[in-house]
Amino acid sequence: MLKIDSHTHIIPKNMPNWTEKFGYGDFIYLQHHKKGFAKMMKGNQFFREIKENCWNPKLRIEEYAQFNTQVQVVCTIPVMFSYWAKPLDCLDLSKFLNDDISSLVSKHPKNYIGLGTIPMQDTELAVKELERLKKNGLVGIQIGSNINDENLNEERFFPIFEACAELGLAVFVHPWNMMGMKNMQRYWLPWLVGMPAETSRAMASMIFGGVLEKLPNLRVNFAHAGGSFLATIGRIEHGFNCRPDLVAIDNNINPRNYLGKFWVDCITHDGLMLEYVLKLQGSKKVTLGSDYPFPLGDLEIGKFIEDMNLEKSTVEDIFANSTLEWLGLTREQFIQ
Ligand SMILES: [Zn+2]
């Protein structure tokens, strides 16, 4: 059975030291301090240690083979977005990352599908980079759940979504820059509590702000099964109904109507929750995802789904059909 992992991260082994190059800021760079490992440094601060499977394409393919998974959709690590930087510098960095993924995809077209990153802080530069990355073989972009604390319904982001819809580029929304981060450092709460809330924030903003309504052809996938959005859709719908003066000010369509019109990945680590997500979304709108190679991901690449006794057609949808439809690709491209 064809298995495509819609949610994985990759980073070039060697990158310029952007902080030195641009003369400011806490850009990420890698210190290869021992074989098979690197320290991700944010400015001079240690951010996290990563392993070779973050950058080595062949090693990744081998690790995936253990879980019968042939294809990985790759995008950068959200901390690389650098939306806070000067726009031209962020463009420079985005191009570097996008070109690295383009070359990976062209070398391994049966194993990798690429999503790019763009300078969301500058609409014009962002749209130009969209056109360029499409020409270079990428099929979509990954963006953050907020852009420097601004929500995705802000007017200046709309032309970017419009361009994605016109160019047929898919969008992957990933939580980052988590709300309340400073106030909940203990217990990994930004990752465990902040991230699901961030994704829900992005979904609610795009729905209430009318982005999905105005752009029905925009193909958006939200990470981690949509964070807390689907689990709280009852509350969100009730809020829409009881306080339309607060909620329905830019779009008067019930948020529940959008279920099944976007994609979410399957990263729930919980069969019961996945059943619920499937009920709300339909199997054609739930993509296999892992968040590989990070420890909070499902590093058995959907094994829990194989153990769930779902209908074969449901599993086929999750493992391949949903991602192919989200990205506008065909199965034939990946048959070995
Ligand atoms: Zn991720």
pLDDT at residue 335 in the model = 85
Residues 78 and 174 sit within 8 Å (Cβ to Cβ): yes
Which has the closest alpha carbon to 71: 8, 161, 159, 154? 8
31: part of which helix (H) or strand (E)?
strand 28-34
Give residue 94 CA to ligand 1 midpoint distance, Å: 17
Share of the chain above pLDDT 70, in %: 100
In this structure, is residue 25 part of a structural domain? no
Q: Average of pLDDT values for 130-146?
A: 98
Range of the domain at 224: 4-11+52-334
Output the six-digit token pair for 161: 């979504």
In this structure, is residue 26 part of a structural domain? no
In this structure, is residue 274 part of a structural domain? yes
In this structure, is residue 18 part of a structural domain? no
Q: Helices 87-107 & 123-135, crossing angle to 10 degrees?
A: 10
pLDDT at residue 24 in the model = 96
pLDDT at residue 91 in the model = 98
pLDDT at residue 336 in the model = 73
Give residue 172 CA to ligand 1 midpoint distance, Å: 10
Give residue 334 CA to ligand 1 midpoint distance, Å: 23
Residue 221 Cα distances to 77, 174, 264, 306, angstroms? 16, 9, 5, 22
Output the six-digit token pair for 77: 């690590």
Tell me the whole-structure pTM to 2 decimals: 0.98
Q: How many domains does the chain have?
A: 1
Segment among 46-50, 156-160, 314-318 with least mean pLDDT: 46-50
Give residue 46 CA to ligand 1 midpoint distance, Å: 20
Output the six-digit token pair for 124: 């014009």
In this structure, is residue 40 part of a structural domain? no
Residues, Cβ < 5 Å to ion ligand 1 = 291
In this structure, is residue 38 part of a structural domain? no
In this structure, is residue 41 part of a structural domain? no
Banded model confidence at residue 43, pLDDT cuts 50, 70, 90:
confident
- pLDDT tens-digit profile of 252-311? 999 999 999 999 999 999 999 999 999 999 999 999 999 999 999 999 999 999 999 999
In this structure, is residue 212 part of a structural domain? yes
Give residue 122 CA to ligand 1 midpoint distance, Å: 24
pLDDT at residue 269 in the model = 97
Give residue 174 CA to ligand 1 midpoint distance, Å: 6
Instruction: Please provide residue 31's backbone torsions phi and psi, each rounded to the nearest 5 degrees.
Output: -105, 110
Give residue 287 CA to ligand 1 midpoint distance, Å: 13
Give residue 25 CA to ligand 1 midpoint distance, Å: 24
Give residue 176 CA to ligand 1 midpoint distance, Å: 9
DSSP code string of 187-225: GGHIIIIIHHHHHHHHHHHHHHTTHHHH-TT--EEEHHH
pLDDT at residue 44 in the model = 84
Share of the chain above pLDDT 90, in %: 99
Q: What is the CATH number for 120? A: 3.20.20.140
| Rounded Cα–Cα distance for residues 305 and 5 (Å) | 13
Q: Average of pLDDT values for 58-63?
A: 98
- pLDDT tens-digit profile of 178-192? 999 999 999 999 999
Sign of CA dihedral 102, 104, 105, 106: positive
pLDDT at residue 318 in the model = 98
Give residue 8 CA to ligand 1 midpoint distance, Å: 6
Give residue 29 CA to ligand 1 midpoint distance, Å: 19
Which has the closest alpha carbon to 164: 201, 207, 216, 102? 216
Averaged pLDDT of the chain = 97
Give residue 263 CA to ligand 1 midpoint distance, Å: 15
pLDDT at residue 284 in the model = 98
Give residue 328 CA to ligand 1 midpoint distance, Å: 21
